[in-house]
DNA sequence: TTGAAAGCGGTACCAT
DNA sequence: ATGGTACCGCTTTCAA
């Protein structure tokens, strides 16, 4: 068997027309005899329908693309699992692609949707540049953004109040007696970076504290390594600029912060309390376990999938926004659940 | 613009034939005037070629599928990145799919390759069942397995001596003075589970130690949570069955082991040393940092991608096997690099 | 119920 | 260099 069997081969083998063969397999009108004849031939030849040809004819791959910046972030893994779960059963396959932090790659990916890469796109971009926004609008298939679009563009969005997440963290630290709260942020040109900074300032203001930029560091990425580097800078400036807490903009940064503190002999949570955001398994399992603000990653994934599914069914629906509420999970890194 | 522009539309707009339009865009023989005319029309209409149609005609999606069991394991993320890196530039898109631990899903995925899901498959299966082995053999597109196939089936494989990895861990523990070494394994019906058990026994034998099944636990998954549960059982049996080290079958299990030990008041590494396997970022950043045996995940991903690329170029190549060597990275969890 | 034939959107071979 | 056309594999009218 040097070549894959096509429907033609099956029809020939069964001694019927391709049309009949197609109907017999798909479930059109066909006699029982026809059905058994064709099925037998198909089995004999090991026939498998060609998805490409079917897509071309039917217009639509039964495939959805999920695009994330950093697949190494468990945050996205949680979304991925939830999305996959929604689609399984709907007979839709999920195509995960990491856009690798480069705008070029992201744009290519988004544009590829117009050439049939999938029937829909779920994307969670760190940076929403004008070019990306335009590309998303020009996409012919439905798009759902997990994150924010900055403007009222006509696209479905699942969002979370990222600033509020940080406010919750700050409030928790204040409530547990911390007085000088440092901030370990990610890049300011990302949406999370920008909004979390706002949340930090709002949180301080709510507590009647004045911000001090000397205890604010901006990591160049939302990763452990970047968190480590920036935390080292923070510590270097001590004790002249001291602090008794660090609010990290996500769990990976928090891990970087804690490991660096400990390696420098700074106790966590005794000397410095640390909080993260995302409530990943990483945070829950770290030592000490990390207080983190859940921004409902699994829930957002689930909602994104449903929005997409609903739009498939009803393409003329007005664009919708679905918001998830953040909630803080207190753990050992802020000293609240010590001994747990 | 209610409908996507097709090549027909472009040709009409430019006042030329579809054949000429195709050539002008693809790069066949065409006059400069033709090229500019067609390109202008294409831009005007926002024409984007349909990948599905092209695939059908050309035979081959420029897409490769990478299938892993647990996308939440950073081990696979390392492979993914390496693979992606190799394919980028070759103009091949990588389609990542998590097979979610269920054999059904895995089989469906593998079989879908025969219906044009991609031009090739890289798969790293935890369990190689007879059904999976058969499905892999029946696949019409090239397959590369990262792991092991148990038999000399005619498929490219990138492997690592998983048993040796555990032996290295045991030897390291022995060399650093540990005398009763517990083993936290993953499911025995997986390839890693089975071979790592062999490595554990071999390692003990090499050190002149006799195995004691009361310090061996088999977690029901290679995850943190499973590791936690099994470690709790291990600890429960102390001090009657004591141990001063735990060899975990991967980093996630190691994290589960350490966090459970610490939560139970068992010091790491003072009372119990712990080692992992995979050398993920998780291991490097944990507190204490975890001694882990690298099994070259990135390297294996890279090699798998290259094997596939080479087979694309030379389909008649004899099946090859490429082996990576494990190496131990000593960290704080075994007390060697304390204070680092 | 069945078969013949027209596409789906491209590409490539064939003449011109 | 250009246009006409067959064809990739499948689904779906349309007649018979």
What DSSP string runs through B193-205? HHHHHHHHHHHHH
Q: Which of A61, A71, A115 sits opposite B49 (nearest CB)?
A: A115
Q: Which of A95, A135, A265 to mutate to test the interface with B (most CBs of B within 10 A)?
A: A95
Decide if A98 and B97 are in contact by the 8 Å CB cutoff: no
A84: which chain B residues are within 8 Å (Cβ-Cβ)?
A: 98, 100
Rounded CA-CA distance A18/A39 in Å is: 13
Average pLDDT over residues A102-119: 93
Average pLDDT over residues A157-168: 98
Decide if A50 and B116 are in contact by the 8 Å CB cutoff: yes
H-helix segments, chain B: 7-14, 18-26, 32-45, 51-58, 74-87, 103-112, 130-138, 162-175, 191-206, 224-236, 251-263, 281-285, 297-313
The token pair at A304 is 């994104």
Question: According to CATH, where is 3.40.50.2300 located in chain B?
Answer: 60-160+297-324, 162-296+328-334
Is the shortest CB-to-strand distance from B316 to strand D under 7 Å? Answer: no
In three-state secondary structure terms, B292 is: strand
Pick the CATH number of B162-296+328-334 from 3.40.50.2300, 3.40.50.360, 3.30.70.3460, 2.30.30.100: 3.40.50.2300
Rounded CA-CA distance B253/B223 in Å is: 6
User: DSSP characters for B306-336?
Assistant: HHHHHHHH-TTPPP-EEEE--EEE--GGGTT
Between CA B120 and C1' D3 the distance (Å) reads 37
Closest residue of chain B to A55, computed from CA coordinates: B52
Looking at residue A1, its pLDDT comes to 43
pLDDT tier, A338 (very low <50, low <70, confident <90, very high otherwise) = very low
Rounded CA-CA distance A255/A73 in Å is: 12
Query: Ranked by mean pLDDT, which of A91-95, A136-140, B192-196 comes out on top?
Result: B192-196
Decide if B96 and A71 are in contact by the 8 Å CB cutoff: yes
For A62, B126, B149, B252, the CA distances from B129, given in Å and listed in that order, are 28, 10, 9, 24
Decide if A116 and B77 are in contact by the 8 Å CB cutoff: no
Looking at residue A84, its pLDDT comes to 93
Question: What is the number of alpha carbons within 13 Å of residue A27 lying toward its C-beta?
Answer: 0
Decide if B340 and A263 are in contact by the 8 Å CB cutoff: yes
Rounded CA-CA distance B196/B168 in Å is: 11
Closest residue to D5 measured CA to C1′ = B19
Measured in angstroms, the CA of B182 and the nearest CA of chain A are apart by 21
Task: Give the residues of chain B that fall short of pLDDT 50.
Answer: 1, 337-340
Looking at residue A100, its pLDDT comes to 72
A71: which chain B residues are within 8 Å (Cβ-Cβ)?
A: 71, 77, 80-81, 96
Closest residue of chain B to A64, computed from CA coordinates: B95
Rounded CA-CA distance B12/A293 in Å is: 57
Q: Which of B56, B74, B286 sits opposite A52 (nearest CB)?
A: B56
Nearest-nucleotide field for A4 (CA, C1'): D9
Looking at residue B98, its pLDDT comes to 85
Looking at residue B91, its pLDDT comes to 86
A49: which chain B residues are within 8 Å (Cβ-Cβ)?
A: 115
CATH topology of domain B60-160+297-324: Rossmann fold (3.40.50)
Looking at residue B336, its pLDDT comes to 53
The predicted-structure confidence for B160-190, as pLDDT tens digits, reads as follows 999 999 999 999 999 999 999 999 999 999 9
Average pLDDT over residues A31-53: 94
Q: Which of residues 11-70 of B touch strand D (CB under 7 A)?
A: 16-20, 23-24, 28-31, 33-34, 53, 56-57, 59
Preceding amide of B300 cis, omega within 30: no
Paired strand residues for B329: B292
Query: Ranked by mean pLDDT, which of A78-87, A328-337, B143-152 comes out on top?
Result: A78-87
Average pLDDT over residues A29-56: 94
Flag whether pLDDT at A227 surpasses 70.
yes
A91: which chain B residues are within 8 Å (Cβ-Cβ)?
A: none
- Enclosing H/E stretch for A14: helix A7-14
Looking at residue A205, its pLDDT comes to 98
Decide if A258 and B287 are in contact by the 8 Å CB cutoff: yes
Q: How far is CA B306 from the centre of its chain?
A: 15
Closest residue to C13 measured CA to C1′ = B19
pLDDT tier, A3 (very low <50, low <70, confident <90, very high otherwise) = confident
Of B153, B170, B127, B175, whose CA–CA distance to B293 is shortest? B170
Q: Give the rounded percent of residues in chain A with a pLDDT score beyond 90.
A: 87
Looking at residue A2, its pLDDT comes to 54
Decide if B51 and A117 are in contact by the 8 Å CB cutoff: yes
8 Å CB contact between A141 and A55: no
Looking at residue A28, its pLDDT comes to 83
Please provide residue A174's backbone torsions phi and psi, each rounded to the nearest 5 degrees.
-65, -45
Of A148, A95, A76, A92, whose CA–CA distance to A309 is shortest? A92
Nearest-nucleotide field for A23 (CA, C1'): D11
Between CA B11 and C1' C15 the distance (Å) reads 20
pTM, whole model, 2 decimals? 0.94
Q: Which of B72, B86, B109 to mutate to test the interface with A (most CBs of A within 10 A)?
A: B72
Closest residue to D6 measured CA to C1′ = B57
A140: which chain B residues are within 8 Å (Cβ-Cβ)?
A: 4
B100: which chain A residues are within 8 Å (Cβ-Cβ)?
A: 84
- Strand C bases within 7 angstroms of protein beta carbons: 1-5, 7-13
Q: Which of B46, B52, B107, B283 to mutate to test the interface with A (most CBs of A within 10 A)?
A: B52
Question: What is the number of alpha carbons within 13 Å of residue B280 lying toward its C-beta?
Answer: 23
Flag whether pLDDT at A337 surpasses 70.
no
Q: Give the rounded percent of residues in chain B with a pLDDT score beyond 70.
A: 98
Between CA B113 and C1' C5 the distance (Å) reads 30
Q: How far is CA B80 from the centre of its chain?
A: 7
8 Å CB contact between A82 and A299: yes
The predicted-structure confidence for A235-274, as pLDDT tens digits, reads as follows 998 877 799 999 999 999 999 999 999 999 999 999 999 9
Q: Which long-range contacts (CB under 8 A, 24 or more apart) does A54-63 make?
A: A55/A116, A55/B52, A56/B50, A56/B52, A56/B53, A56/B56, A60/A119, A61/A116, A61/A117, A61/A118, A61/A119, A61/B52, A62/A91, A62/A92, A62/A93, A62/A119, A63/A92, A63/A93, A63/A94, A63/A95, A63/A117, A63/A118, A63/A119
């Amino acid at each position: 068997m040097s070549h894959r069997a096509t429907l033609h081969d099956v029809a020939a083998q069964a001694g019927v027309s391709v049309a009949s063969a197609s109907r017999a397999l798909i479930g059109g009108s066909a006699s029982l005899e026809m059905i058994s004849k064709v099925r037998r031939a198909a089995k004999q030849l090991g026939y498998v329908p060609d998805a490409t040809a079917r897509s071309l004819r039917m217009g639509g791959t039964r495939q959805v693309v999920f695009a994330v910046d950093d697949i190494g972030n468990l945050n996205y893994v949680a979304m991925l699992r939830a999305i996959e779960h929604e689609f399984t059963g709907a007979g839709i396959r999920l195509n995960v692609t990491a856009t690798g932090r480069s705008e070029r790659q992201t744009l290519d990916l988004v544009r590829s949707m117009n050439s049939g890469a999938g029937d829909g796109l779920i994307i969670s971009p760190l940076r929403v540049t004008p070019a990306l926004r335009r590309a998303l609008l020009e996409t012919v298939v439905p798009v759902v953004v997990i994150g924010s679009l900055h403007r009222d563009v006509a696209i479905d969005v699942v969002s979370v109040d990222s600033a509020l997440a940080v406010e919750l963290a700050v409030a928790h630290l204040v409530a547990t007696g911390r007085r000088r709260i440092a901030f370990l942020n990610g890049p300011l040109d990302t949406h999370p970076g920008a909004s979390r900074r706002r949340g930090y300032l709002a949180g301080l203001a709510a507590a009647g504290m004045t911000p001090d930029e000397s205890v604010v560091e901006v990591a160049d990425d939302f990763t452990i390594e970047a968190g480590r580097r920036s935390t080292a800078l923070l510590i270097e400036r001590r004790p002249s600029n001291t602090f008794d807490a660090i609010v990290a903009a996500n769990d990976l940064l928090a891990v970087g912060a804690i490991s660096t503190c400990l390696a420098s002999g700074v106790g966590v949570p005794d000397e410095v309390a640390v909080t993260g955001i995302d409530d990943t398994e990483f945070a829950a399992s770290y030592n000490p376990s990390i207080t983190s603000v859940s921004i409902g990653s699994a829930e957002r994934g689930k909602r994104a999938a449903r929005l997409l599914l609903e739009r498939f069914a009803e393409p003329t629906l007005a664009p919708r926004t679905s918001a998830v509420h953040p909630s803080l999970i207190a753990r050992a890194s802020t000293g609240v659940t010590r001994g747990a």
